[in-house]
Amino acid sequence: MKLSASLFLCAAAAVLAAPFPEPAPPGIPSASTARTLLAGLRAAASGSGAGYSREKFPHWATISGTCNAREFVLKRDGENVKVDEACTVESGTWRSPYDGVSKTQARDIDIDHMVPLKNAWISGASSWTTDQRKGFANDITRPQLWAVTGSVNRAKSDSSPDKWKPPLTSFYCTYAKSWVQVKSYYELTVTDAEKGALSSMLDSC
């Protein structure tokens, strides 16, 4: 049985209109749990940042087989991702949850640390061992690593939520819940301004 041209176009449009699933790294708490965790975070002024460098957070460690943390997240968060034997991504589609932009080239995608490495440094990680910082930078068991567009990752840089928020307000809830979970697990401090911004973002849940 053949579809008429109009039915075929309707079916095609429905496929194109289907929502791209939002990436869901493990460990994102409920809104109520996030509020409880937020209340338990210790408020403190940020450290100076003296001595910080990205090299003190060894990242893109091997996760499984030949796949490092970046490749693991690209596979996890993309659609129809194909990789070669070395786990180099050959094709796929990614929708950046921060800004809603879709990309079909892995080179256009950055893996963002939800809590940036420098923010972690100034909120407690400066006293960690190198192995602890490596674990933080490659954490795939909590909502710390996200596949996003390079442009939005650069816009965020090392900013905390009181200084930068995702362009998509619909993502505020997930963003705040994820940030709080990571800071709580790693016992990192928050500033008063950061805590207030997170509380406001949780109001959108």
User: Is residue 112 within 8 Å of residue 146, measured between CB atoms?
Assistant: yes
- HSE-CB for 58 with a 13 A CA cutoff: 10
**What average pLDDT is seen over the chain?**
91
In 3D space, the residue among 185, 183, 194, 181 whose CA is nearest the CA of residue 30 turns out to be: 181
Tell whether 7 is covered by a domain.
no
- Asked if pLDDT for residue 51 goes beyond 60, the answer is yes
Query: pLDDT tens-digit profile of 172-188?
Result: 999 999 999 999 999 99
Domain count, the chain: 1
Check: CB of residue 171 under 8 Å from CB of residue 101.
no
Per-residue model confidence (pLDDT) at position 20: 54
In a domain, 90, yes or no: yes
- Has residue 147 been placed in a domain? yes
Q: Would you say residue 179 lies in a domain?
A: yes
Tell me if 151 is assigned to some domain: yes
> Which residue is associated with the tokens 């929708």?
95
4 is a domain residue? no
- pLDDT higher than 60, residue 6: no
* pLDDT tens digit sequence for 86-138: 999 999 999 999 999 999 999 999 999 999 999 999 999 999 999 999 999 99
Would you state the structure tokens that stand for residue 121, as one six-digit string? Answer: 């440094």
Range of the domain at 105: 27-202
Residue 19 lies in a domain: no
Note whether residue 6 is domain-resident. no
Residue 68 backbone class (left: φ over 0; alpha: ψ -120 to 50; beta: rest) = beta
pLDDT digits (tens, 9 = 90+) for 17-43: 334 566 779 999 999 999 999 999 999
Give the pLDDT band (50/70/90) at residue 8.
Answer: very low
Residues in the chain: 205
DSSP-based three-state secondary structure for 91: strand
**pTM score:** 0.89
